Amino acid sequence: MKELLTDIQVLARIVKHTVVEVENLSIEQIMACIDHDSICIGMVPVEPGLTNMGRVDSVQTEDAVPNEGYVTYDIRFMLIVMELELEIIINVEAQKSWYPGYKIPTRGIFYGARMISAQLGTEFCDSNYDDIKKVYSIWLCFGVPDYIGNAISEYRMEKRDVVPGFPDDRASYDKLSVVVIGLKESKSYPNEFIGMLNT
């Protein structure tokens, strides 16, 4: 499954339908923006907080923290869109079950938070927090129940003014998105993308 999902044509379609920043780009443009050398598959332990996205195949897919065990990423890669001056770290996970004993958005938030904190020392140093790259954790969940069906939901941070005043500088807080895709076999699908994933 991981090898199939890392096919550039499949990854580009997942990105197009889940990453809002590039939804207006064509599949071909997105394929060109996926940093092939950064695609990581497998299970390799790394020191806490260190993610070198420039390595290839089967590296940097775990973050180790003492007394916490390992967080294993199925697939992780960098999306670089030069014309938009945009770099996003993306994690794609395939789940056999939509509810493996916990809620997927909760695990997605944990994975996303780890991808953000792991940027310290690689993507930003000291207190240069404005250099943090946005992360996406995208979850493909198979066999969802009928009441969910084929669905896509995004979970992200939003600004809420308790007492208005601060400008809405979305770039300063829009750093983590979790996208959950529910997949269920059906005779018809809501769109071509869901149909492709079910196939």
Please write the tens of the pLDDT for every residue from 173-196.
Answer: 999 999 999 999 888 898 999 999
Rounded to the nearest integer, the mean pLDDT of the chain is 86
Strand 86-95, strand 134-142: pairing: parallel
Residue 50 has pLDDT above 90, yes or no: no
**pLDDT value at residue 30:** 97
pLDDT band at 73 (very low <50, low <70, confident <90, very high): confident
pLDDT digits 0-9 by tens, 93-144: 999 988 999 999 999 999 999 999 889 888 888 888 999 999 999 999 998 9
Helices (H), the chain: 2-5, 8-18, 27-33, 104-117, 192-198
* 80 class by beta-carbon count within 10 Å (0-12 exposed, 13-18 middle, 19+ buried): middle
Strand 151-156, strand 62-65: pairing: unpaired
**pLDDT value at residue 169:** 95
pLDDT band at 47 (very low <50, low <70, confident <90, very high): very low
pLDDT band at 57 (very low <50, low <70, confident <90, very high): very low
